[in-house]
């Protein structure tokens, strides 16, 4: 059990339920269910095989497997080929044995290995996969079905929901324990380093880490950390990843009295997020949530505010997948990331829709909260942290 779990009942319970080994029978069974879902889709769409190369889809299909070597690419170094009867791992010799032993144990993949001086292992899909091969990344001879394959991710299995609860709670703990270490005079880089180290100590990686101090937070939506030194205010936004799943959380820290314009922006953004989250239930159109967000912006005096940044949507194996311009609807057993930005502020928490309703696992008792009204009842979101 990890140290934080001993002091946090929610984490302690989750760590009892989350499998610790990649060949745990529960993970193997859940991964088999993903393969079966993919095969049903192949049959329905008249494809002969599916080639999975992207890191997010690899993690989904294998219940948390990781096929990366390079960090700055969406593509992995091992590729999964699924046909109606067979499952293959296509990889170079320097990657295949490790992937098979550590990421795919017990899942029934047959290795097909190339040497580094031979052709791209993905080319083997054209030999083994038949005439119509669906792929999640461009490859001549295959049919790009990246969007359609990503939509197979939902709903999530219970083990995935528990992992997201764990990841969300750990992200909340990082903020609760690291925010008090932030001080005026620190550079954005130094603050980013504090948070990077805190996540790494929990075996959590960051796909995004925005840190914006003072005027930079007010001027820019995506504040990549720089040498700018904190004076009074900082916005911090990590996208934490473990098992291929994500918890995206934004928090705002202020030192000394908060100016009225910033306080109003934070309160307005929080209210808009609360109204959007209050709509979430099974079968709600994403387009309806977007319309609610637009109306909320207008009522608070920002009629064009919704145009400045997409408002989120699905998360999970993708960091944030905005589907609010589609006809898709919310489902149970899924993770959502609806958020709002206004000049200087961003309000964002991991939210899960499960059998018991909406959960926000990232918000713990040791962070100040706002109680906000919604159409489905009161909802708590984080307040600005003021020292």
Phi, then psi, of 313 in degrees rounded to 5 = 150, -130
Least confident of 174-178, 332-336, 363-367: 363-367
The pTM (predicted TM-score) of the whole model is 0.95
**Topology (CATH) of 158-386:** Creatine Amidinohydrolase (3.90.230)
Give residues with Cβ within 8 angstroms of 255, minimum separation 6.
184, 230, 231, 232, 233, 386, 387
Residue 84 in 3-state DSSP?
coil
Structural element, H or E, at residue 119: none
Q: Which of 166, 246, 251 is nearest to 202 (CA)?
A: 166
pLDDT for 3 beyond 80:
no
Apex 30 CA angle, 363 and 44, nearest 5: 110
- Say which DSSP state 320 is in: -
| DSSP H stretches of helix in the chain | 3-7, 9-17, 25-45, 55-61, 96-98, 125-128, 146-150, 158-178, 188-200, 215-219, 260-277, 286-299
pLDDT for 213 beyond 60:
yes
| pLDDT computed for residue 365 by the predictor | 87
| pLDDT computed for residue 8 by the predictor | 83
| pLDDT computed for residue 326 by the predictor | 77
Q: Parallel, antiparallel, or unpaired: how do β-strands 379-382 and 369-372 relate?
A: antiparallel
Only one residue has tokens 């098992």, namely: 243
CA dihedral 42, 43, 44, 49 (to 10 degrees): 20
Segment 39-43 mean pLDDT: 98
| pLDDT computed for residue 327 by the predictor | 80
Only one residue has tokens 């580094």, namely: 116
Prior bond of 189 cis (ω within 30°) = no
Segment 80-106 mean pLDDT: 97
Q: At what angle do helices 286-299 and 260-277 cross, to 10 degrees?
A: 150
Domain boundaries, the chain: 25-153, 158-386
pLDDT for 2 beyond 70:
no
Phi, then psi, of 20 in degrees rounded to 5 = -95, -20
The fourth-level CATH superfamily of domain 25-153 is: Creatinase/prolidase N-terminal domain (3.40.350.10)
- Beta-bridged to residue 110, according to DSSP, are 88
pLDDT for 148 beyond 80:
yes
Length of the chain measured in residues: 387
Q: At what angle do helices 158-178 and 188-200 cross, to 10 degrees?
A: 140
Pairwise CA distance, residues 385 & 304, whole Å: 28
Q: At what angle do helices 9-17 and 158-178 cross, to 10 degrees?
A: 150
Segment 109-127 mean pLDDT: 96
Q: Contact 262/300 with Cβ under 8 angstroms? A: no
Percent of the chain whose predicted confidence (pLDDT) is above 70: 98
Q: Render 257-268 in DSSP notation, one character per residue.
A: PPPHHHHHHHHH
Show the tokens assigned to 29. Answer: 């069974």
Q: Parallel, antiparallel, or unpaired: how do β-strands 233-242 and 251-254 relate?
A: antiparallel
């Amino acid at each position: 059990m990890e140290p934080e779990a001993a002091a946090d009942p929610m984490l302690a319970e989750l760590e009892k339920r989350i499998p610790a080994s990649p060949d745990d029978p529960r993970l193997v069974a859940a991964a088999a269910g993903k393969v079966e879902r993919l095969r049903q889709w192949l049959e329905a769409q008249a494809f002969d095989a599916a080639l999975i190369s992207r890191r997010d889809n690899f993690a989904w299909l294998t219940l948390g497997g990781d096929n990366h070597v390079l960090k700055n690419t969406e593509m992995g170094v091992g590729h999964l080929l699924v046909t109606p009867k067979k499952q293959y791992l296509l990889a170079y010799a320097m990657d295949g044995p490790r992937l098979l032993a550590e990421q795919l144990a017990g899942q029934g993949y047959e290795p097909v290995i190339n040497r580094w001086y031979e052709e791209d292992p993905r080319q083997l899909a054209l030999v083994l996969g038949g005439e119509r091969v669906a792929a999640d990344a461009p490859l001549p001879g295959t049919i790009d079905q990246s969007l359609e394959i990503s939509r197979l991710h939902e709903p999530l299995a219970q083990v995935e929901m528990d992992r997201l609860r764990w990841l969300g709670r750990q992200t909340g703990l990082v903020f609760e324990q690291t925010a008090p270490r932030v001080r005026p005079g620190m550079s954005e880089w130094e603050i980013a380093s504090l948070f990077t180290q805190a996540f790494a100590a929990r075996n959590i990686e960051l796909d995004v880490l925005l840190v914006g101090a003072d005027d930079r937070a007010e001027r820019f939506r995506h504040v990549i950390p720089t040498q700018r030194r904190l004076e009074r205010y900082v916005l911090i936004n990590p996208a934490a990843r473990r098992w291929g799943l994500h918890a995206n959380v934004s928090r705002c820290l202020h030192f000394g009295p908060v100016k009225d314009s910033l306080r109003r922006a934070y309160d307005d953004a929080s209210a808009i997020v609360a109204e959007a989250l209050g709509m979430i239930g099974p079968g709600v159109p994403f387009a309806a949530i977007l319309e609610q967000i637009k109306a909320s912006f207008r009522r608070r005096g920002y009629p064009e505010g919704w145009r400045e940044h997409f408002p989120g949507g699905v998360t999970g194996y993708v960091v944030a997948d905005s589907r609010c311009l589609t006809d898709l609807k919310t489902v149970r057993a899924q993770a959502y990331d609806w958020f709002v930005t206004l000049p200087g502020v961003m309000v964002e928490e991991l939210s899960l829709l499960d059998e018991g309703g909406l959960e926000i696992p990232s918000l713990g008792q040791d962070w100040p909260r706002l109680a906000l009204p919604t159409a489905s009842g009161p909802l708590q979101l984080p307040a600005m942290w003021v020292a």
